[in-house]
Chains A and B, each alone.
Chain A
Amino acid sequence: MKTVLDLEKLNYTWPGSRIPTLSIPHWQIKQGEHIFLYGASGSGKSTLLKLLAGILLPQQGQIRILGTDITSLSARARDRFRASHIGFIFQQFNLLPYLSVEANIKLATHFGHQARQSQSNNIKNLLRQLALESSILPKQASQLSVGQQQRVAVARALINRPQIIIADEPTSALDSDSRDNFIQLLFDNASTNQSSIIFVSHDKSLAGHFDQHLSMNELNRLENSHAA
């Protein structure tokens, strides 16, 4: 199977700090893999996600995504790369509250430089698959329930058909019934594009859904590669 992510000798230190935040000798993710990444707060999870997304740059090492070393790209090219190949889902506040659901999703296609045609169709299909009525499209994001917001966030993360989905504690604001439901919807939809999922959570009860588990402690300063 294709390798979608390949980290090599990665080192990151927050500016002004003397102790390195992250040091990952090697890490690989293959296409379609669902990874459950857990770790206490302060273990460097968020920093890692930002490095993967190309929002932060490591002081050392390579981050190859789909064969491209994103650390060698210009800032603008990295942003464009992220827009078209990585779908991001946050814990909460995924949407711009003052934009409509439709505008929120279209914003992602705007940055992903996706052709306008078939956009609306895609959006409606996605919403249907995520059990959302298309009548919510003109609604302001701030009018939706948290559960609806998170599902719209999935729709937005998937609209550009990204190869990697990064979900940063996306279920922590949901009740336990909706959590399992949410993860199922995420998996179902990700499978259409064979997207890999990096799912970060401190809630280990969710780990059962995933075929790979990884703790930050294992990953960070890990001497040997972790690959399935």
Chain B
Amino acid sequence: MLLKVASASLISRKLTVTLTTLAIAVSVFVMLGVEHIRSEARQSFSKTVSGVDLIIGARTGPVNLLLYSVFHIGSASNNISWHSYQTLAKHPLVSWHIPLSLGDSHKGYRVLGTSKNYFKYFKYGQKQSLTFAQGQAFDHDFDAVIGAEIADKLGYQLNDEIKISHGVAAISFHHHDNKPFKITGILKATGTPVDQTVHVNLQAIENIHQDTPDTDSSHHDSHDHANDIKVTPDFITAFMVGLKSKAATFVVQQQVNNFSDEALLAIIPGVALTELWQMMNTVEKTLALISALVVIASLLGMITLLLASMKERMHEIAVLRAIGAHASFIFLLIELEALLITSLGILLGIILLNGTLLASQSWISSHYGLFIDANIFDTTLLTYSAGILMVAAFLALAPALLAYRHSRQIT
């Protein structure tokens, strides 16, 4: 009966109640959205790289190195010399190594120059290796392996030819027009930046930057493929290393950091990630605080609505009392109305957030390399909803107690 009266009362005030509900929905959208993207971003970040013991690049901040080498966010301020790479690659404790060379793009997607080791040793998520949906790793200089999303978005198939531009903007004025790459492999989706990367042979990157094929660079052993001109690059952006023993990680890291030929930095991915989270912590807390305040503001709006209507509801209270309603019925009626509006707002906010995430998922992933799951239903959601309802119930004490006191002593 209480629920029937409360809902009828709200329906009779459609306009104000709808607006208040919308305000709560938007605030819930903000709060849950911030929380969801925060936790998803963490998850997305931490599953991007696994099984790599050290990442080595030019001396810069650890977070910066991590961001450009793994997440392809921002760009390297400095490269490292091929010589240093070769020297460290021969380190007795190094089991495997993957060179990384960034700086080019194809239609806004990053191009990564690397070696076949990438497909052999690079791991993501729970130590999963990259697997091919179609085709295989590159064999020749002008072969390319593309990520799942590129294949999907641009509709590429095996043996399609693509062109690579210098720089990383979607529209580049400097195309390496004369040298198309042939797609030899398409990777399965990983939910990491790999999906948005064009992988080519490291030598190819070097080659397309040569103005003439005939250079004075040190030619290595001749190759049977006519198009391949074997040049070793002078520089690479960074490289990943797997060690023979985990226990050696800190020793090797120390040695790299003290490398005398060149200023280098070796980072342990997990440690750098932790550092990144610490940097983000303040931002996250600020955002959480702001979103909590937005929710409270919207709840205060609802309380204002309930308080403002209290004067015109005095008759209603008198009638309810006269037909035998206990004062607690009046109290509960107001509380229930507040909770109904809040629940409706939360529900609407959740639907809004879910819809928005579904709609913008691919946009977020292609622009920020973040893979945000549109599924927001977890225990955090329940905790937050329960928390919001509790705050609403607490704030609604003001109008509810006013109505209660009035009904105890009708004037």
Contacts and interface: CB of A to CB of B under 8 A. Distances in A.
**Pairs of residues from A and B, 6 with the lowest C-beta to C-beta distance, nearest first:** A83-B324, A98-B12, A111-B324, A88-B322, A93-B315, A79-B326
A79 B325 contact: yes
B9 interface: yes
Contacts, number: 64
Contacts of A53: 322
A50 interface: yes
B-side binding surface: helix, strand, loop or mixed?
Answer: helix
Contact of A96 (B319, B321, B326): B319
B5 interface: yes
B322 A55 contact: yes
Interface residues of B, number: 21
Interface string B74-101: 0000000000000000000000000000
Contacts of B410: 50, 55-56
B4 interface: yes
Nearest to B407: A55
A83 B409 contact: no
B262 interface: no
B323 to A, nearest CB: 5
Given A50-B410, A90-B318, A99 B325 contact: no
B409 A75 contact: no
Nearest to A79: B326
Contacts of B323: 83, 88, 107-108, 111-112, 156
B1 interface: yes
B322 to A, nearest CB: 4
Interface string A70-96: 000001100110111000101001111
A223 to B, nearest CB: 29
A75 B326 contact: yes
Given A83-B323, A90-B319, 19 more contacts: A50-B410, A55-B322, A56-B409, A75-B326, A79-B325, A79-B326, A82-B322, A83-B324, A88-B322, A90-B322, A93-B319, A96-B5, A96-B9, A98-B9, A98-B12, A108-B324, A110-B1, A140-B12, A156-B323
Nearest to A153: B319
B280 interface: no
Interface in B1-45: 1, 4-5, 8-9, 11-12
Contacts of A98: 8-9, 11-12
B221 to A, nearest CB: 89
B324 A75 contact: no
B8 A99 contact: yes
Nearest to A53: B322
Contacts of A111: 323-325
A94 B315 CA distance: 8
Nearest to A77: B326
A185 interface: no
A83 B325 CA distance: 8
Contact of B316 (A50, A75, A96, A112): A96
B324 A79 contact: yes
A50 B4 CA distance: 27
B12 to A, nearest CB: 3
B17 to A, nearest CB: 11
Contacts of B1: 107, 110
A54 to B, nearest CB: 10
A140 B327 CA distance: 25
A43 B47 CA distance: 80
7 contacts: A50-B410, A76-B326, A83-B324, A84-B324, A93-B316, A96-B5, A156-B323
Nearest to A110: B1
A82 B321 CA distance: 9
A111 B9 CA distance: 18
A82 B409 CA distance: 16
Contacts of B409: 15, 56
Interface in A28-68: 50, 53, 55-56
Contacts of A50: 410
A141 B75 CA distance: 70
